[in-house]
Amino acid sequence: MKKHAFFSIILLLFTFLASSNSFADQNLPFSKGVNLTGWFQVDNAQQIQFTKYTREDFEQIKSLGCDVVRLPINLHFMTNGAPNYTLDPMFLHFLDQVVDWTEELNIHLIMDNHTFDSSTDTDPKVGDILLKVWPQMAAHYKERSNLIYYEILNEPHGIADALWNSTQKSVIDAIRKIDTKHTLVVGPAGWNSYNNLADMPITPDTNLIYTFHFYDPFMFTHQGAGWTDMVDLSEIPFPYSSEKMPEIPASIRGTWVENTFKDYKNKGTIAEVQRLIDIAVKFQQTRNVPIFCGEFGVYDVVSPEEDRVYWYNVVRNYLEEKNIAWTIWDYHGGFGIYEKNSDGMFYHNLNVPMAEALGLTPPEQTPYIALPDSVGFSIFSDYSGENIDNTSYVAGVLNFYSTDRPNNGDYCIQWSGGKQYQSISFNFSPNKDLSKLVENNFALDLFVRGDDPNGSFDIRFIDTKTDETDHPWRNRVVIDKKMVKWNGIWEHLHIPLKNFTEQGSWDNAWFNPAGQFDWKAIDRLEIVTESKAMSAGSLWVDNIFITELDTAQVLNTTPDTTHVDNPDGVKHIQQNEKVFANFSYSSASKTLTISSTNDQNISFQLVDLNGRVRIKGENFSSKLFDLSQLPIGTYIVTLFDERKQLLKKRLLVY
């Protein structure tokens, strides 16, 4: 009996290994990449600004020489919460798009569960959530390619090694009941420290990658970081140099940071950096397992730039010398590979010395020349427009993908519970020069509805503070019951840009209007609860454009029904016949197939985010459209029935 049991175990283990990847030789199929931060790291799926990155961004990342992207996700927030933690279908819809892009481009994608708070210890019962979310993720992605990886949890901390190891083992086992194919990225407690790798248990599962993070010397990499005790440190050199060391700030005297400062001559050396990485290397060699440095970086606010670049070069070279794959933290952001305080444009703002220090191949950089906008553009139409970021500051609930009767398309914006002086904010990156559009009588065009009879908010443009003598001036229009009925029905607003009036500026103090608002340097558009907090009702906004056309229509977003008198004298409610239309995009052939499902004629338009019609078709039941001549970008596909009534509206990222 024991003999049969032994061979059964061997057979099961062999079957598991045969059906999965095996990295027992320590070699990984990827080598270097980036963390795409601030994209899926939001409070819920409805706040994901999906157009923040596109397929083109992944192409650009690959052109640098990267073959892997680590995607931090607030995974626990992408659910309906306790007790079931059911994944939000919208989150999966967005993530599926990312998976499609990476598979098409042959880029490895690490789905990093980054549900993480540096100020709070990891909950000892975190396994209760992990055992809910990861089986769902595994079931959803088990048939996708081997380019996809699951990272259990980023930087568990304040939790005992033994408890975390046991928790992580339970999660691995739960995933393996569903998915034996995909590689799991596992890490130790202690913030994924190299010091805790050796405390991880030995497991027969060879389809694991062991991750660690590297931010040493911490006093150098996190100087000036407001979320640490290093906030008052600056100009710390690397490597240590007595001539370059600054004075000890008075604020850190008598703290543990002072001791670290005094010991920096020993910690701030290349030899020490290599010694610490060697702790991870020893684990790799002792266990004969692959390891991966999932994060390393230097905060750019006050660190000396040349020393920062040098540190990256030292760490990157030593990781590669030891055959350790890596992803830098991050891509855009305070640890990123773009010039500090820039707009993060790939062909204009890459930090070339830093990219080269990482062994990447940046394209030639050219100065960005800001030209006045000459055509209209989309700010929001199902999704935020191109090069527009969500910088909203709100209380209550803000949903960028509300399906509560959008005027057209799939989604509208819904906001409830807003306090006074809060806003839905669309940041233009780079800044916009709207001066020509003002001269040519362009307008802000949008739809609004609300259920507060006394509702009021401001719509305002804010210009750019150019220097210390300037201020961020506001130009506004007040939307209240004089303009909108607030009866829960959509109303169309077409507000000429010339009708906006200067309000003043808040710049740590209030500054009255001075005639200095500048349409040539617009930083953002805001929808603001300026005069009062919101009541118990909601505000809905849809289809925000800058346009010269005043042709938008309020569509009937209630069920389309009519009364029909029958010979029997009884009035019946009859649902008007619906035309159902579908489209499918093939990235391989660069074609778009559009068809109605009941052979009725339909029409089609493909419009870019500047509002220009690129392709259209009239009165057909099924047709294939060639997109091969289109520039890479984001487009809006709109389908209409024979009466030109909207059928469907979708975003196409080409």
Helix H or strand E encompassing 313? helix 305-321
SS3 state of residue 438 = helix
Domain with CATH 3.20.20.80 in the chain: 22-224+269-357
445: its two tokens = 């065009």
Distance of CA 218 to CAs 275, 296, 302, 381, 597, Å? 15, 11, 14, 44, 61
* pLDDT at residue 324 tops 90: yes
| pLDDT (mean) for 259-278 | 97
DSSP characters over 333-377:
STTSSB-TTS---TTT-B-HHHHHHTT--PPPP---------S-E
Contact 619, 601 (CB under 8 A): yes
| pLDDT (mean) for 354-361 | 98
Domain with CATH 2.60.120.430 in the chain: 377-547
Q: How far apart are CA 476 and CA 438, in angstroms?
A: 14
What pLDDT band is residue 3 in, cutting at 50, 70 and 90?
Answer: very low
Angle (nearest 5°) at CA 287 between 282 and 290 = 85
* Nearest in space to 298 (alpha carbons), one of 252, 234, 365, 242: 234
SS3 state of residue 551 = coil
Dihedrals phi, psi of 298, to nearest 5 degrees? -130, 125
Sign of CA dihedral 358, 363, 369, 375: negative
Strand pairing of 538-547 and 443-450?
antiparallel
Q: How many CB atoms lie within 10 A of CB 288?
A: 11
CATH fourth-level superfamily of 377-547: Galactose-binding lectin (2.60.120.430)
Full strand arrangement of the beta sheet holding 613-620: 613-620, 602-608, 634-640, 646-653
What pLDDT band is residue 556 in, cutting at 50, 70 and 90?
Answer: low
Q: By percentage, how much of the chain surpasses pLDDT 90?
A: 77
Beta bridge partners of 572: 564
Q: How many CB atoms lie within 10 A of CB 574?
A: 11
Q: How far apart are CA 602 and CA 594, in angstroms?
A: 9
Neighbouring residues of 231: CB distance < 8 A, sequence distance ≥ 6: 224, 225
Dihedrals phi, psi of 114, to nearest 5 degrees? -105, 30
The pLDDT tens digits of the residues spanning 449-486 come to 999 999 999 999 999 999 999 999 999 999 999 999 99
pLDDT at residue 169, as a whole number: 97
> The domain 22-224+269-357: what is its CATH number?
3.20.20.80
Residue position matching structure tokens 């940046």: 362
Say which range, 312-316, 640-644, 646-650, has the weakest mean pLDDT: 646-650
Domain 579-653 has CATH 2.60.40.3080: yes
Full strand arrangement of the beta sheet holding 591-596: 581-586, 591-596, 622-626
Q: How far apart are CA 498 and CA 208, in angstroms?
A: 61
Contact 266, 275 (CB under 8 A): no
pLDDT at residue 622, as a whole number: 87
What pLDDT band is residue 589 in, cutting at 50, 70 and 90?
Answer: confident
The pLDDT tens digits of the residues spanning 609-642 come to 656 778 988 888 888 888 888 887 777 788 877 7
Contact 619, 604 (CB under 8 A): no
* pLDDT at residue 165 tops 60: yes
What pLDDT band is residue 562 in, cutting at 50, 70 and 90?
Answer: very low
| pLDDT (mean) for 343-349 | 96
The pLDDT tens digits of the residues spanning 387-435 come to 999 999 998 889 999 999 998 888 999 999 999 999 999 999 999 999 9
